[in-house]
Structure 1
Amino acid sequence: MNGDVVVGIDGSWASCRAAQWAAEEAARQGQALRVVHSSPLPVRTVPAPQLPSPRQDGEELMLRRMVSDLSLSHPGLKILDTRHWDSPAAALLDEAESAGLLVLGARGIGGFPGLLVGSVALRLAGHARCPVVVTPASRPADAGGGTAAASPGEVVLGIDARDPADAVVEFAFDAARRRGVPLRAVHAWSLPAAFAPPPALEIPESDRATCEDLEVQLLSDALRRGRRDNPDVRVVLDVVLFNPAKAVVNASTHAGLLVLGRAEGAGSDHPGPVAHAALHHAPCPVAIVPHG
């Protein structure tokens, strides 16, 4: 993966957690880390002296303190800081144009209790030109003492074996290889209409096994190139007769990272139903990888 790792911060606990995750990832990739803070300037109807406001001074101090803390915890990592006088979403979309990876917390300082994913995270996940990682909103105490951002768990790839995206598969293999963990490829499927029984009947076990064998082969074929290029990565094939969104969320329970794709040109404020569900319910960081 080429390009700096960019992380957006706003002083919230979630953004501090995202910054630590981003620093670890930048060090893992051997890339620089760009720490970005943005807030629009207040609209003035009357000209005023161009002097820093107390709010601007506080934001500058917060940015410098974050860079200092990250430098102490990650010696040797090249860290740059950037200020934008624009909305956070617009600023980070601009930064994403030249980034290799964009990282942010699920919700920012403007969030409220019970809000799982904020509008900025959803917009960036649906529009950014580079892969986006959204770290979960819950504090460790909220998740029963767990710390998903630092989890050494496997990388989970949500994949449609009938229409795999090379960029997404490559990202997932690369993430597993760098971490030295297994890659679990989750492919959810449903019975073909010809095999779907009436509500009062059950499908014969032999018919279901035949269909499942086909799905396993499709998944194996979809991962062939990734396995060839990453022979040291142990791959677990997880083929489930289940709803895709529920399948990837269930698989992410003990994961260190969940990787999903997003078709470019289909950008919206929501990056698709499966990714949307994962961003709201997965307990680990979620990577949304755009593909053509």
Structure 2
Amino acid sequence: MTSTRVLTVGTDGSRESMAAAHWAAREALRRGLPLRLLHADNADNGERLACPPPDVDLPGRGVLNRVALELSYTHPALEIIARRRPAPPTSALLESATESETLVLGSRGFTGYSGFLVGSVALAVTSRCDRPVVLVRAGGLPQDEHMPGGAGFLPVVVGLDVTAPADELLSYAFEAAALRGTRLHALHAWTLPPLRGTGAGDAQPGDAARRETLRRRALSGALQVWRAKYPEVPVVERLVYGQPGHHLLKASTAASLTVVGRSMETAQLGCTAHSVVHHVTSPVAVVPHL
């Protein structure tokens, strides 16, 4: 499927969708793409992108005009395309994504927690979309993506399964780091199988060191081709023991973007991706792959 050179953001005028729109505007400028604002609604269907705040009571075109005006003031060099689709948000967003390089959606942050409150529409779209979907939490600021003092971007973090590395995932992560002029932290978490000694795949005493060495070699091997394609991107290989969701959550606290994969074989998120989109505080890119 051929992708149109455009980046799309879903908007309904709410606080979380405005945060997503501003993030998408900055990303579109980094990539040299026009930004398409999409407002979808279906009054009879009852499905919404998010609950609009009390001070926002605008019809679809009013929402688009307001968001486009705000973005044009903030990013005067950005080409903005506004589109309203009178259809259920999930179907409208999925259809629009097929014509986009990336789809951006907003998510509300938990009060008192570090994480996302991912609505049913955002979760359904992220689980089924065949393009990368970026979730941006409300309350995030541009300076949150930068190192203290504003001296460059924080690293991009990518969670990698070395037993089945995906080109789509690594391509997106390396390009994101290159666009930001920052480091890429490639993180692989692993655990030993149960120590039972009843099968060939079970862990044996003294087996941990050998398995760790094999995983480290696999991580380096998966990154080798991409290091050559992006020689300007410094890469930090991080092999950690434990559950990937836990380690990605920790790593994301000092990341400008967290990137995870989703298998296109099923219309749902895997355990790691599901954990990340619900709890990670940085913008999260979910990249579908074969």
Which residue is equivalent to 1:102? 103
Provide the secondary structure at the position in 2 that maps to 1:239.
Answer: strand
User: 2: distance between equivalents of 1:112 and 1:240?
Assistant: 30
CA contact (8 A) 2:145 2:154 kept: no
Q: 1:10 aligns with which of 9, 12, 16?
A: 12
CA contact (8 A) 1:17 1:149 kept: no
CA contact (8 A) 2:19 2:106 kept: yes
Which residue is equivalent to 1:257? 257
> Which whole-Å deviations, capped at 9, do the CAs of 1:154-176 have from their partners, x for residues lacking one?
10000001110001001000000
Which residue is equivalent to 1:281? 279
User: 2: distance between equivalents of 1:266 and 1:225?
Assistant: 28
User: 2: distance between equivalents of 1:56 and 1:89?
Assistant: 21
- CA distance 1:26–1:241, change in 2 (3 Å): same
1:3 Cα offset (Å): 2.4
Which residue is equivalent to 1:51? none
Number of equivalences: 267
1:210 Cα offset (Å): 3.2
Which residue is equivalent to 2:210? 210
Provide the secondary structure at the position in 2 that maps to 1:232.
Answer: coil
Provide the secondary structure at the position in 1 that maps to 2:282.
Answer: coil
In the TM superposition, 1:33-182 aligns within 5 A as 33-42=35-44, 58-107=59-108, 116-137=117-138, 139=139, 148=144, 152-182=153-183
User: 1: distance between equivalents of 2:44 and 2:212?
Assistant: 59
Which residue is equivalent to 1:24? 26
- CA distance 1:57–1:207, change in 2 (3 Å): closer
CA contact (8 A) 1:262 1:289 kept: yes
- CA distance 1:104–1:6, change in 2 (3 Å): same
1:129 Cα offset (Å): 1.3
- CA distance 1:254–1:56, change in 2 (3 Å): closer
> Which whole-Å deviations, capped at 9, do the CAs of 1:108-143 have from their partners, x for residues lacking one?
9xx999871111111111111110000124x25xxx
Deviates more, 1:55-64 or 1:210-219: 55-64
Larger radius of gyration: 1
Q: TM-score, structure 1 length as denominator? A: 0.83
- CA distance 1:208–1:98, change in 2 (3 Å): same
User: 2: distance between equivalents of 1:2 and 1:172?
Assistant: 20
User: 1: distance between equivalents of 2:75 and 2:94?
Assistant: 26
1:65 Cα offset (Å): 1.3
CA contact (8 A) 2:60 2:84 kept: no
Partner AA of 1:272 in structure 2: G
User: 1: distance between equivalents of 2:282 and 2:172?
Assistant: 17
Provide the secondary structure at the position in 2 that maps to 1:262.
Answer: strand
User: 1: distance between equivalents of 2:42 and 2:146?
Assistant: 32
RMSD of equivalent CA atoms: 2.9
> Which whole-Å deviations, capped at 9, do the CAs of 1:243-284 have from their partners, x for residues lacking one?
11112111111101011111113113xx12111111111010
User: 2: distance between equivalents of 1:123 and 1:193?
Assistant: 34
Q: TM-score, structure 2 length as denominator? A: 0.83
Provide the secondary structure at the position in 1 that maps to 2:273.
Answer: helix
User: 1: distance between equivalents of 2:265 and 2:160?
Assistant: 19
> Which whole-Å deviations, capped at 9, do the CAs of 1:16-75 have from their partners, x for residues lacking one?
0000000000000001100001111448xxxxxxxxxxx996332221011011111112
Which residue is equivalent to 1:48? none
Which residue is equivalent to 1:50? none
**Structure 2, gaps ≥5 residues long:** 46-55, 148-152, 198-203
Residue 231 (str. 1) matches residue 231 (str. 2): yes
- CA distance 1:209–1:126, change in 2 (3 Å): same
**Structure 1, gaps ≥5 residues long:** 44-54, 197-202
- CA distance 1:233–1:192, change in 2 (3 Å): same
Which residue is equivalent to 2:50? none
- CA distance 1:267–1:22, change in 2 (3 Å): same
User: 1: distance between equivalents of 2:142 and 2:29?
Assistant: 23
Which residue is equivalent to 1:245? 245
Partner AA of 2:13 in structure 1: G
1:107 Cα offset (Å): 4.5
Deviates more, 1:146-155 or 1:116-125: 146-155
1:225 Cα offset (Å): 1.0
Partner AA of 2:95 in structure 1: D
Structure 1 runs of 4+ aligned residues shifted over 6 Å read: 111-115
